[in-house]
Amino acid sequence: MALACWLTGLTLALPTTAHAQIVIDLDGVVPAGDETHFFVPFEVPPGIAEIEVSHLALSPDNILDFGLEDADGFRGWGGGNAEPAVVGVDRASRSYVPGPIAAGTWRVVVGKAKLVELPALYQLRVTLRTAAEATLPAQPERAPYVDPGALATGRRYYAGDFHVHSRESGDAHPTLDEIATVARANGLDFVVITDHNTHTGLDYMNAAQARHPDLLFVPGVEFTTYAGHANGIGATRWVDHRVGVEGATIADAVAAYDEQGALFSINHPALSLGNLCIGCAWNHPIDDSAVDAVEIMTGATSIARTAFLGASLAFWDGFCARGRHVAALGGSDDHRAGEGTGTLDSPIGSPTTMVEADELSVAAILEGVRQGRTVVRITGSAAPMVTLTAREGLVGDTATAGRAHLVVRIDGGLGGAFHVVRNGVTPEEPLPIDADPFTYELEAPAPDEGEDRYRVEVLEGGKTVTITSYVYVRRPVGGGGCASAPGGTGGAALVWAGLLLAMGLARGRRRAR
């Protein structure tokens, strides 16, 4: 396969009878050292309209990833794309960015994903073409991304998948249309497109959104490093993923996502599979304040649930125990638009994450996650739905009361069981679900200091199938008034919520006496 791709690159690079293309061979040895990426520069003269880079790792045991930079920076990240990378003025191959082909120094970016056979060798062939020699067909659908606004209005729980790959990821092949077809068939309202270290799928999102007005495409990216993966939910601009190279840090990456209004969510943190999934487990040191969410379930296969759910929950719960209100998310990590039928394949919507939001828009979905109003239905839309609220009302994910009264509602869970998990501690015996819908209330006295946290888990056949994010209970500041949780709402909504909470708190104090 690799040899065939390399030969194809050679064929494309051969001069034609009418024009003499410029061909630059850049064979070399992967440099030693701990840095995860290195750069191979080449010069581009004036008058070039298309650049093609063919690449090959010269050992079947080694894995190299590839990208491209011009003098101003990022021009694409193909990762493990087997085919050559091609960039032009108004068109580019998948994973790469069209734009002006400026004269000067460009760089091939090479990632040292896996090195077994040393010395590790590589081959690069750069072909420079004029406009008359360009090979890529026109791409009329490409256009700058425009936020589509609200596709539906009304506060409710919207169903989505926070981790979906399109063909712009080097290891995936679905088009946005194929993704939309599967997503709607599985009952989703939105999907977050999370291609590896590239945002080029945005160029096709306007047209796809117009063809699928009942499914919201949410911009995103999977920030993929060799020591952990995370989603930039809502991101529309590239962020440097080459941690430790040329000064790049995790803190810088988080700040860059925050600057563009995106959320930082750590993916499959416990997925430690070695070379079967390079860098999938999270191993970067990171400040708690940098994390907005954690993917507690990746895929819905029985293997993933058995092997990784407990460890992922513990990872997520650690942030919450340290005082950071981090939302629980689920994502399929689908790369095949639901085509896979193997034991490790997980189609779009497995799991499904429900987000309570005021409308079906990018901004509202992100705000729902910030507020911690999420429910992960691990086995998809067929799993029971759970809501966890407080009679005193919530500001974001927090009930401010001397004694809160939490209300659990479970739909579709008849015959199953549930736990109310307090401060990360699961009761020994679950409670039965004997009605549909089923409701349950419990008193939650606020601690004298800090806050307590509660979540609900629903079980079927002894296995967890639905998990809510936490609801937090804290005392009013100074014994009265209303303290907002991190990410709380503002303006008139906050004033109204404060009035409702004040009434509830007064009742709670009287009962406490």
Q: So what's the pLDDT on residue 135?
A: 97
- pLDDT of 159 > 80? The answer is yes
User: Residues with Cβ < 8 Å from 195, sequence gap 6 or more?
Assistant: 95, 165, 166, 168, 169, 172, 201, 221, 222
What string of DSSP letters covers 30-84? PPPSS-SEEEEEEEE-TT--EEEEEEEES-TT-EEEEEEEETTEEEEEEET--SP
190-202 tens-digit pLDDT: 999 999 999 999 9
DSSP β-bridge partners for residue 153: 359
418-440 tens-digit pLDDT: 999 999 999 999 999 999 999 99
Strand 293-298 relative to strand 327-331, pairing: parallel
Question: Which of 332, 363, 356 is CA-nearest to residue 468?
Answer: 356
Q: How many residues does the chain have?
A: 513
Which two structure tokens, joined as six digits, stand for 342?
Answer: 């193997």
Q: So what's the pLDDT on residue 489?
A: 36
Which domains are delineated in the chain?
Answer: 2-133 (2.60.120.380), 151-382 (3.20.20.140), 384-513 (2.60.40.10)
SS (HEC) of 295-314: EEEECCCHHHHHHHHHHHHH
Cα dist. 235→38, 69, 186, 252, 259 in Å? 25, 20, 25, 15, 10
263-282 tens-digit pLDDT: 999 999 998 877 777 889 99
Average pLDDT, integer, range 86-107? 98
Average pLDDT, the chain: 89
Average pLDDT, integer, range 305-321? 91
